[in-house]
Amino acid sequence: MLFPFILISALCQIFSSADPLDVVYSPESFDKFRTGETRNLTIQVTSDGTKSGEDHELIVECMHEDICKVIHYPSTINFSPENNHTATFEVVIESRFLGVTHLNVTVGDEVLPGFPLRLLRSDREAKVTKYFNIFLGIFIFIISTMMGTQLEPKRIIGIARKPIGPTIGFFCQFLGMPTIGFLVANFGLPDDANSLKMALFATSTCPGGGKSSFWTIIFSGNLDLSISMTFTQTLAALFMMPLWMSTLGRHFTDAHVRIPFLRIVEGLVAFMVPTTMGMIITHYRPQYIPCIHKWIKRVSWCAMIVLSIFAIYSNYYIFWLITWRIVLCGCALPWLGYITAFIVALLLRQPFKDALTIAIETGIQNIGIAMLLMVWCLPEPESDIAVTIIFVTAIMTDKPLVIIWLISRLYKRCCKRDIVGQEDDDLEKRKIGEIGKREYLRHEALVIETLFFRVDNARHKRYCGQLRPHSVSAGPNAVITIRG
């Protein structure tokens, strides 16, 4: 009869001694613990009295050593009765990289509850990003003004009256791209990467960016159609982005998604104001158009190269977060957009220039809106991690365009060399033919002059009794005088 009571008391002792240590962290969490900083954490461990009177080994370490590192902590602690069986010590933690992790504390053989750590980007990186945004704004203003000088208002009015190209671009941008983005995010990224999935899908719902106009200029596409599509798609994004994020976007997150309407309007104004200024400049100073047309491609190339280098420098931390799946999905979204829009435009019998412009406008997204959306929807550092796939998409968007442009340039250069060589051969043949013709005429003139000289010499001998000296100077333009 006593056995059940003995068993129950033994189990109670086991469970009561299962957690003999209690830990308290001060502060309870770090506020804005940024990369490169060090913080002191006070840890207070209290024992139930069973571990008093001896030193216990202490191990404090970060779960992810590449994110943070514990640079100082005592090797042993003692729960003395004089201190109420409590040991208090300090730990110095160094932040190495952004991310979410926690601090593990082990006393002897017992692992204590961890301390959560949220590590953010450094202030220096934030300042570099700020300078990059200023630099980007200046370049966009200059390029947009130069683009405005190349526009023809009559053609834009014609496109507005018969908006076949913008209509095709609208359906490709806001029907095809979100579908592609949803499928790529859902099946291409890991199941637990909801922030990355939402970032990729948000990118697919954004309108075309100003960079598309740069590539339209480089490929000699329809710039008027490009500007018209950018304007109409940016306006349409004010209601199409909320529609997609409130429907398919719910598949990736339950949080309330705030659409950056103000940012969209600001982007629209920032795009239209310099473009209108360029049109006004050419209206009053049309003599500037040829000069600007000569330099616009060079400035566009320079802007894209400099901005790409600056963007990589200001966001270099992203390369430590990139995986092969992120690269694959970041490439798939814009590249499939190019192919799909180009095929659709050709099937609808659009001219090649218009089809190329529609493809460029569809594949190149306004990533600034997607980045701002992630910053508003997710806290740090989750927002910085989610931006990784947006940054990869931005980097890989124009790489096929660069390759196609280089191939086309090499092809044209090789063809020009062949044409020049053929023209040189034809010119040489013509020269040889002309030389032969001149020699033939000279020979004929020489024969005729010799013949008449002999006749004249015979007459002179008959009447004068001596021969005349023989001097012949024949040529193609020789003038032969017949005497007597």
Over residues 364-407, the pLDDT tens digits come to 888 777 877 777 777 777 777 888 888 888 888 888 888 888 88
> How confident is residue 442, by pLDDT bands cut at 50, 70 and 90?
low
pTM above threshold 0.95: no
Contact status, residue 325 vs residue 184, Cβ threshold 8 Å: no
pLDDT score at 426: 53
Rounded to whole angstroms, how far apart are CA atoms 213 and 155?
Answer: 16
Where in the chain is CATH 1.20.1530.20? 123-404
Q: Which residue has the higher pLDDT, 326 or 290?
A: 326
**What pLDDT shows up at residue 359?**
92
Residues across the chain: 484
Q: Which of 213, 229, 219 is nearest to 165 (CA)?
A: 229
Percent of the chain with pLDDT strictly greater than 90: 8
The CA-atom distances, in angstroms, between 93 and each of 46, 82, 99, 116, 227 are 22, 29, 14, 12, 52
Mean pLDDT of 213-221: 83
What integer pLDDT is reported at residue 321 of this predicted model? 81
pLDDT at 231 over 50: yes
Residue 474: pLDDT band (50, 70, 90) is: very low
Beta bridge partners of 120: 34
Cβ burial 309-343 (10 Å sphere, 16+ → b, else e): ebbeebbebbeebeeeebeebbbbbbbbbbebbbe
pLDDT bracket for residue 18 (50, 70, 90): very low
Per the model's pLDDT, the better-predicted residue between 114 and 210 turns out to be 114
Using CA atoms, how far apart are residues 448 and 92, in angstroms rounded to an integer? 113
- pLDDT band for position 180 (cuts 50, 70, 90): very high
Q: Please, what CATH class does the domain formed by 123-404 belong to?
A: mainly alpha
310 Cβ neighbours under 8 A, 6+ residues apart: 132, 135, 136
Give me the pLDDT at residue 455, please: 53
Residues 188, 189, 194, 195, CA torsion sign: negative
Residues 6+ apart with CB under 8 A from 177: 204, 205, 333, 337, 362, 365
In the chain, CATH 2.60.40.10 covers 20-119
What digits encode the pLDDT tens for the residues 301-354?
777 777 778 777 777 777 888 888 999 999 999 999 999 999 999 999 899 999
Sign of CA dihedral 304, 309, 314, 317: positive
Rounded Cα distance between 62 and 109, Å, is 17
Separation of CA 427 from chain center: 48
Across 358-376, b (16+ Cβ under 10 Å) vs e yields bbbbbbbbbbbbbbbbbbe
Model pLDDT, residue 449: 62
Q: Does domain 20-119 correspond to CATH entry 2.60.40.10?
A: yes
| Distance from C-alpha of 245 to C-alpha of 247, rounded to nearest angstrom | 6
> Which residues, in sequence order, are bridge partners of residue 33?
119
- Write the CB contacts of 467 (distance below 8 Å, at least 6 apart in sequence): 457, 460, 461
Percent of the chain at pLDDT exceeding 70: 76
Question: What pLDDT, on the 0 to 100 scale, is given for residue 17?
Answer: 44
DSSP string for 38-103:
EEEEEEEEEE-STTBTSEEEEEEEES-TTTEEEEE--SEEEB-GGGTTEEEEEEEEEE-S-EEEEE
Q: Residue 27: what residue type? A: P
- Residue-level pLDDT at 255: 54
Given a cut of 90, is residue 183 above it in pLDDT? yes
- Across 176-185, 317-326, 422-431, 472-481, the highest mean pLDDT is recorded for 176-185
Q: Judge whether residue 124 has pLDDT over 80.
A: no
Closest by CA position to 370, among listed 248, 173, 209: 209
Note the pLDDT of residue 175.
92
For residue 431, what pLDDT band results from cuts at 50, 70 and 90? very low
Mean pLDDT score, 162-184: 90
pLDDT at 272: 73
Element spanning 18, H or E: none
C-alpha span between 412 and 199 (Å, rounded):
40
Q: Which residue has the tokens 């729960």?
A: 79
